[in-house]
Amino acid sequence: MKKKFITWTFILYGLYSLVLGLYFFQWSNPGVPPEYEGTAADPATFMTAMELELSQEYSTYQNFLSFLGEPLEWIVYLGVMIFGASIVFKQFGEKVSRFRIIQIPLFVLLLSTLTSILLFPIDYVKRRLSVEYGISTQSFSSWMRDELLSFWIGWLMMAVLITVLYFLMKKFEKRWWLIAWLLMIPFLIFMMYLQPVVIDPLYNDFGELQDKQLEEKILTLADEADIPADRVYEVNMSEKTNSMNAYVNGIGSNLRIVLWDTTLNRLQENEVLFIMAHEIGHYVMNHLYWNLAGAIFATFLGLLVTYHLLRWSVRRYGEKLGFTKVSDIASLPMFYLILTLLSFLASPVELAISRNAEADADRYAIEMTQDTEAAVGSFQELTVNGLSDVDPPALVKYLRYGHPTMMERIYMLENYELSEEE
């Protein structure tokens, strides 16, 4: 079984890598569709030849690496089970303590550590590319700090969730998935409330926006949209990246309007106001709450399907892998494998919904600001600054993009101006 796994992994992953390489480096056409030529969406009208070449190179390499890394997590989970590492992790936990409340978090820690180490090379190469192409300005030590911070935060949350989940599996054999889903609802709401004030400040320094005149204009936009905000936060991102961003997140009293300092440094005031109007549009159209509702619905479907697939998989393969019960913590890699596969299969639908929401926010922003020149200029500057591919290959767009392409967004804004003049 182990030899077959190694052989087929090399063959299938090798073929997958070859097809990916051909798709991104040979078959994808970086040219501009005829209908966009000469418009504001045509990168030749706002990017130099060097910038255009760099953006195409950088995007191609990053997309290739992202897709190359996609199945590696699945391979790790399969390998952990086939080579018996899940049994070793379980036995180690049993030696450390006889209490499951200790054994389960320890198993999660061992599995998370192994997975992170095996996937680290892809993450490191992506980071190096970002540095070499001038996107990332973050030192290796700072990057590693963020990586380790994410690891421990992720482990802490997963340790709690998986411990509760496997207790439910043991006690409620046929209804654990439903009870787990009901418990996830307040957890998701709580995390949405907690994110802006507890988790985000662990990574970056947040302070009040220094430009009080700009803050007043942004708060005026927020007031027109009935957003209960009395300040705008500026976050120091220039020490980590040259990319630009702004967002509105959180709920209730923890709602925050946030601007990256890179955005403030590189965009004109009217362009910043358009970007903020876009983010305000998400709030006005309740996208934050729709995202929460979508996560709750997706969790329900995911746990229901996982329940059935996990039961079938344990019955079919569990004995060969060293466990015969779903509630055995050694089945966790199988649980993760099913969830990640389901997440991948659901991503095209989720991303399509997200792209639609982003397009709605763009329309809201242009209607609110009535400044098409600033809208187009802001997206053009975002493209140049982040070396974004304005027209990515279809595989990238439908499997990785939660926003319309920059070409689509700029073209829509330019046409909006023409329709208004008519």
49 pLDDT higher than 70: yes
Nearest to 77 by CA among 413, 344, 295, 284: 344
255 pLDDT higher than 70: yes
DSSP symbol at 274? H
Q: How many CB atoms lie within 10 A of CB 234?
A: 21
Binned at pLDDT 50, 70 and 90, residue 417 comes out as low
Nearest to 41 by CA among 402, 380, 302, 399: 380
Tokens of 294: 């979508």
The half-sphere exposure of 151 on its side-chain side, counting CA atoms within 13 A, is 17
Its pTM stands at 0.91
Specify the pLDDT at position 419: 44
Q: What is the mean pLDDT of residues 402-406?
A: 93
415 pLDDT higher than 90: no
229 pLDDT higher than 70: yes
Nearest to 260 by CA among 292, 234, 232: 234
3-state secondary structure (DSSP) of residue 142 = helix
Evaluate whether 243 touches 231 at the Cβ level (below 8 Å). Answer: no
If 0-12 CB within 10 Å is exposed, 13-18 middle and 19+ buried, where does residue 141 land? exposed
Evaluate whether 257 touches 209 at the Cβ level (below 8 Å). Answer: no
CA atoms of 31 and 39, how far apart (whole Å): 14
Tokens of 76: 């790790």
The half-sphere exposure of 129 on its side-chain side, counting CA atoms within 13 A, is 21
Read off the pLDDT of residues 340-380 as tens digits, 9 standing for 90 and up: 999 999 999 999 999 999 999 999 999 999 899 999 999 99
Tokens of 142: 């700072």
The larger pLDDT score, comparing residue 234 to residue 254, is at 234
Distances (CA, A) of 408 to 32, 60, 258, 277, 399: 12, 19, 25, 19, 17
Backbone angles phi, psi at 143, to 5 degrees: -60, -45
Evaluate whether 45 touches 38 at the Cβ level (below 8 Å). Answer: yes
Kindly name the residue from 271, 279, 358, 381 that is annotated as catalytic. Answer: 279
416 pLDDT higher than 90: no
Side chain identity at residue 415, one-letter code:
N
Specify the pLDDT at position 303: 96
63 pLDDT higher than 50: yes
The half-sphere exposure of 20 on its side-chain side, counting CA atoms within 13 A, is 19
Nearest to 236 by CA among 256, 259, 220: 259
Average pLDDT, rounded, for the chain? 92
Read off the pLDDT of residues 256-307 as tens digits, 9 standing for 90 and up: 889 999 999 999 999 999 999 999 999 899 998 999 999 999 999 999 999 9
Q: What is the mean pLDDT of residues 165-187?
A: 95
Report CA 275 to chain centroid distance, whole Å: 20
The answer to whether residue 173 is catalytic is: no
Tokens of 396: 């990238």
422 pLDDT higher than 80: no
Q: What is the mean pLDDT of residues 301-315?
A: 96
Which residue is listed with tokens 């975002």?
382
Specify the pLDDT at position 252: 76
Beta pairing class for 233-235 and 256-260? parallel
CA atoms of 104 and 99, how far apart (whole Å): 9
DSSP symbol at 196? I
Side chain identity at residue 45, one-letter code:
T
Specify the pLDDT at position 103: 96
Q: What is the mean pLDDT of residues 90-112?
A: 96
Report the share of the chain in percent with pLDDT over 90.
79
Binned at pLDDT 50, 70 and 90, residue 231 comes out as confident
Binned at pLDDT 50, 70 and 90, residue 253 comes out as confident
Nearest to 259 by CA among 140, 138, 378, 360: 378
Which residue is listed with tokens 């639609």?
356
Q: What is the mean pLDDT of residues 67-71?
A: 95
19 pLDDT higher than 60: yes
Tokens of 334: 């199988």
Tokens of 419: 């329709």
